Amino acid sequence: MTPMNANTLKQHAKQLGFSYCGISKATELTEDAKRLEQWLNQGKQGSMKYMENYFDKRIDPRKLVEGAKSVITLMYNYFPSKTQAEGTYKISKYAYGEDYHTVVKEKLNQLWVLIKASRGEAIGRCFVDSAPVLERSWAWHSGAGWIGKNGNLINKQMGSFFFLAEIICDLEFEYDAPIAKDYCGSCTACIDACPTQAIEPGKSINGSKCISYFTIELKDAIPKEMKGKFQDWMFGCDICQDVCPWNRFSKAHEEHAFEPKPQILQLTRGNWNELNETIFRELFGKSAVKRTKYIGLKRNIQFLEP
């Protein structure tokens, strides 16, 4: 058997449903280290104290995986074919179906098994938004796209409605080159649309002002000064992606696990207000929405009430 090269790896990734696969050399992210340190020093992480942990591992994958030589970046589309009805409380599109951590991690593990079967003994780890990995930086290094003003990784062919995942391993491959150009140009649609002014100059996101932060990460009471600014978002927020011109190229995913239960798209404001813990578990037991817990979702709904 011929050892798997970069092209064969990308073919296997495509067969598993990944929209993109790119590979970059594992090295220290010196420029990202400076930006991250400044971001943390300015307190933009809010109550997300975990962002302050494992700084050295965040900026150098070789400290996360011993002997790491490559960072394999993969993209998995989650753009839905149908969305919630207008005039109801909204959840972010990524949470419509089953929890992406589970779905994408399973695909990632399958790919890693194929790599090891071809290349022999290897050291590596699979990551899906659950470890100190600067995934958007690695996605840029792998040629997946560029970092938009809203901090999201944007791909010319697909927009930004996709999950990022990585395999960091001690194998060498032919490496991809980053995209040199920033195709956002002079567009400020995301900045103009953000109701809490969380998007700041220099592609910096003030996490402590983001609607997703308030509705998911924050465990305390939502600050009163945010009242009336959430535009009916009760779990996450898609505003900066919905207004991005590049997302006109988004195409509906083909992942059955991401299909929402019909009831979720049909729930009215009244239904959400009447939601009890039993129904919450039935609807969101396998969804990322469970992260905020029933009590957290009810808090968010009550905050949105006039």
Average pLDDT per block of 10 residues along the chain, 306 residues long:
83 98 96 88 82 87 95 98 94 97 97 92 92 94 97 96 98 95 96 97 92 96 96 98 98 97 94 96 95 96 94
- In 10 A of CB 217, how many CB atoms? 19
Catalytic residue among 32, 129, 232, 242: 129
In a domain, 219, yes or no: no
d(Cα 188, Cα 43) in Å, to the nearest integer?
24
Alpha carbon 300 to its chain centroid, in Å, reads 21
Contact 140, 178 (CB under 8 A): yes
Q: How many domains does the chain have?
A: 1
In a domain, 47, yes or no: yes
In a domain, 52, yes or no: yes
Residue type, 117: A
In a domain, 87, yes or no: yes
pLDDT at 2: 60
- Which structural domain range is residue 159 located in? 6-169
In a domain, 144, yes or no: yes
Residue type, 216: I
pLDDT at 119: 85
29: left (phi over 0), alpha (psi -120 to 50) or beta: beta
Q: Quick one: which of 207, 188, 235 has its CA closest to 48? A: 207
In a domain, 227, yes or no: no
Query: By three-state DSSP, how is residue 21 classified?
Result: strand
DSSP state of 62: G
In a domain, 50, yes or no: yes
Task: Give yes or no: 129 in active site.
Answer: yes
Q: Quick one: which of 90, 94, 63 has its CA closest to 79? A: 94
In a domain, 273, yes or no: no
In 194-285, which ranges are continuous DSSP H helix? 211-212, 239-242, 262-266, 269-273, 277-284
pTM of the model: 0.94
